[in-house]
Structure 1
Amino acid sequence: MTLVAIGACYLDTILTICRRRGGNCPNTLEVLGQLLQYGPSSAESSLNLITVLPSKTSVASQQIQASLGNKVRLDSCIYREIFSEPASSYIITSQATGSRTIVNYNELPEMTCAEFATAVESLLAVTGRPWFHFEGRAPDVTLECIRYLREHFLGTEISVEVEKPGRPGLQELADAADVVIYSKGWAQSNGYTSAEDCLRDQSLKTSRASLLCCTWGHEGAAAFEPKTGNFAHVPAHIEEGGVIDTIGAGDTFNAGLLYGLIYRGQDWGFRKRLEFANLIAGLKVTREGFSDLQRALDVPSY
């Protein structure tokens, strides 16, 4: 018996909605908060976020604080009291290729250098001199902020993330930082064909950097110390179960690297810091969000 079916035929695009707090620096701080539960005591560590948020009493600001837990302080944030909605991103991910399309919406006025200076002065009044890590979101303002720190707080350690392809001013930020973390996307957009190619050339363009790192997706990550000539490359860490969620993998790598530099600097060497950052980024992509990443410290060598 032959069956003939008559009806419409479609290609379905299936959208699964997941709403969670994002942002490069908040993601990095969330992961660091987990790691510090198993590292130095809370008396030896303080994680602080400086960002622009809507009204302090808004539901959005309360949700953001709750999402970061009690290890991350928002006291130094810049609250726009006449606004109630936060900056938002809509991320469309292709399961077939892993590519992402991101649409941002933000009505909050950006931070100024003067606001940053006020936040920093209040922060330093109650804590020791911190390490400053910048996303590199608004390079012109970020460069002003770095120059302010260099002028008023000598010896401050500064790291910068150089991520977005085509964003003007990121090269100048790299030149002003002590530690620079490059993304594969930025490196390729500037003509580099490998992480090593990027780092060795960038070492000629970053006058004060002590450490340069570059992530390269499934090909792992590399690091270079311009002052010593030390170079290291580690392959991508692949966990059983495969890749589930790559959103925030770079932020997690940054957290692992900063953890090694700031909190394990006395007992971890150059290569071990890179290996740990690579390991925890590999763990992250096997899960939705950033839960339970402190288990990277359960690996015997850490």
Structure 2
Amino acid sequence: MTRLIMVGVCFVDTILSVDHYPGEDEKMRASSVYRRRGGNCPNSLEVIQQLIDVAQSKLPLNLISVLPAIESASSRFIRQSLGPNVNCDACIYRHDSDEPASAYVISSQRTGSRTIVSYNGLPEMTLDEFSSSVEKLGYMEKTYFHFEGTMPEANLQCILHIRHKYPSAVISVEVENPRRRGLEKLVAEADIVFYAKGWAQGSGYTSMKECLEAQTHVATKAKYLCCTWGKDGASLLTKPDNIYITVPALEVQETKIVDSIGAGDTFLAGMLFGILCHEDDWDQERKLRFATELAGLKVCQEGFQNLGIGITHLLK
């Protein structure tokens, strides 16, 4: 049995829904406000937990993230939001802080866009802390590590440590923010790479295929390269045979779009579920199509709760 360890930042999001994005110095009222746990890896874990429950699969789920003091209200809120099947024992708790990493999201009803302002006052994870966290979980031959790629320098040290100490482990990385330097060093060490449209366009690529074909020269160790492109769907390039697969996005009427926050995290959850729970009985196109359709279903609902209920037909 394989286990999944996801490494990334965990946020507490405050989401304001407004008619339109405010101009500078404009005063306006929000139509709603709510608070929820965010962060790419925690979001993906919440979705994967639902998928394995519905499919009755077995996949131990673990999060390594820097959190406030373990007894703080914020850390209790984060653990409760993830549910009992996501192990947070390996998280790194900053005992002198009660404040989590925070994100403030302005969601425009008029355009469907969202603007995010984040703040994280928690000291970053060190290599020694990461090593101790992994040791807490104990050795397991089949371990899959996923790195969000928000701290490229620290992430690279952790990946090299895994390569040295756990050579059988599989490693994937997410490449999302074009302003974050050092991501391609992570790509060069990964077995699987997930590229976001924003990073690809910020790097000068005009299509999924152009991005993936160019990145084969960077991701020299990778078996799979995957890229999402919003309404244009997603693509997968397998190596070393260089087979290119693309699937369209799920067609969703604009009037049915409720919440696009976390669609990329949902796609990633779908791909990891396919890779880890259906390695042999799903081909690559089915894995890609499942993840794409799952992300399409997500934008039609608020948050991630009960997302698993709507995917039974996708598992048949």
Equivalent residue runs for 1:257-268 within 5 Å: 257-268=271-282
- Partner residue of 2:84 out of 70, 74, 78: 70
**Contact 2:290/2:314 (<8 A) preserved:** no
The structure with the greater share of residues assigned to strand is 2
Structure with bigger gyration radius: 1
- Partner residue of 1:251 out of 265, 271, 278: 265
Structure 1: 5+ residue runs without aligned partners?
1-9
Question: What does residue 34 of structure 2 align with?
Answer: 18
Alignment partners' CA distance in 1, 2:157 and 2:50: 31
Equivalent residue runs for 1:4-153 within 5 Å: 12=28, 14=30, 16-41=32-57, 44-125=58-139, 127-153=140-166
**Contact 2:141/2:168 (<8 A) preserved:** no
Q: Deviations over 1:72-101 (max 9, x none)?
A: 010000011111111100011223333322
1:70 is paired with a residue of what secondary structure?
coil
Structure 2: 5+ residue runs without aligned partners?
1-25
Alignment partners' CA distance in 2, 1:288 and 1:169: 34
Q: What is the aligned-residue RMSD (CA, Å)?
A: 1.7
Q: How many matched pairs?
A: 290
Q: Which amino acid aligns with 2:293?
A: L
- Kindly indicate whether residue 312 of structure 2 is the aligned counterpart of residue 298 of structure 1: yes
Q: Which amino acid aligns with 1:200?
A: E
- Kindly state the Cα deviation for residue 242 of structure 1 after the two structures are TM-superposed: 2.1
- Kindly state the Cα deviation for residue 174 of structure 1 after the two structures are TM-superposed: 1.1
Q: Which amino acid aligns with 2:59?
A: S
Question: What does residue 172 of structure 2 align with?
Answer: 159
- Which aligned segments of 4 or more residues in structure 1 are displaced greater than 3 angstroms? 10-15
**Contact 2:103/2:119 (<8 A) preserved:** yes
- Kindly state the Cα deviation for residue 40 of structure 1 after the two structures are TM-superposed: 4.3
Aligned pair in 2 of structure 1 residues 73, 278: CA closer, same or farther (>3 Å)?
A: same
Moved more, 77-86 or 127-136: 127-136
Q: Deviations over 1:250-286 (max 9, x none)?
A: 0000000000001110111111110011011001000
**Contact 1:279/1:296 (<8 A) preserved:** no
- Name the structure, 1 or 2, with higher relative contact order (CA <8 Å, separation 6+): 2
Q: Percent identity?
A: 47
**Contact 2:195/2:227 (<8 A) preserved:** yes
TM-score by length of 1: 0.91
Q: Deviations over 1:156-214 (max 9, x none)?
A: 10010000122101111111111100000000001111111111111122110100111
- Kindly indicate whether residue 247 of structure 2 is the aligned counterpart of residue 217 of structure 1: no
Q: Which amino acid aligns with 2:153?
A: D
